[in-house]
Structure 1
Amino acid sequence: MNTLGSRIAHYRKQKGLSQQALANECGWESQSRIGNYERDTREPSFEDLRRIAKALEVSVNDLFGSTMQIAESQDGRYTAENVLSPRSRQVLERLTLAASEGRLVEQDLILLEQIARRLEKTDG
């Protein structure tokens, strides 16, 4: 389970859902969207990730795996932990606003994942 797509497939199968059933749970007519995400041929938007996570009864963090963890509350909104600097809090608040307004696109998620990978390398 080293890609986002493989984690989506894992949790879908664990829940006993077909791609079509998961698509229906997310409010989509066709299963091709799920198939594309699972094959990693298409990156889901943040809103699509939230729908998938809700349908699979997992967190967005579960879908991201250890590559990128997001501070999340029960309602799916980000929370600013006490360990964050004021600048980091400001960035997190802007990301939260952008996500809630649907302004994060696939390239944003890719960039955020790349940043998370670099931070992991510097932490170790």
Structure 2
Amino acid sequence: MIRSLSLAPALLLVAACQTTPPEQTAVHPDAHALAQAACAGCHSVEPVGLSPNPDAPEWPVIANTPGLTRQSLTVWLTDAHAYPEEMDFYLEEDEVDMLVGYILSLRSEDYHPPY
């Protein structure tokens, strides 16, 4: 027991040195197809490109918005009252999870807005 306790600080130090980007998760394999089907009519859902609807922000712009979190994006996508009229549709919980994961996968440390 004493030996394992003496390793604890070393393990914490090693864990603290790990650099994992915040909120990075594996993207569901169907997420891009769902984004294309449900959202690409207005938004650019690709890593690069402009939205077909100039009033709809590109997903990389959304993904790289300062302060955006998994929780805030999930709440926004599940609260139908937050949607603009064009987005008045229902998403299942698993669809929200897929879209949130996909949007967050578009984050980039060297991101520069397209305009």
The structure whose residues are more often helix, as a share, is: 1
Taking CA–CA contacts closer than 8 Å with sequence separation of 6 or more, which of the two structures ends up with the larger relative contact order?
A: 2
Is the radius of gyration larger for structure 1 or structure 2?
2
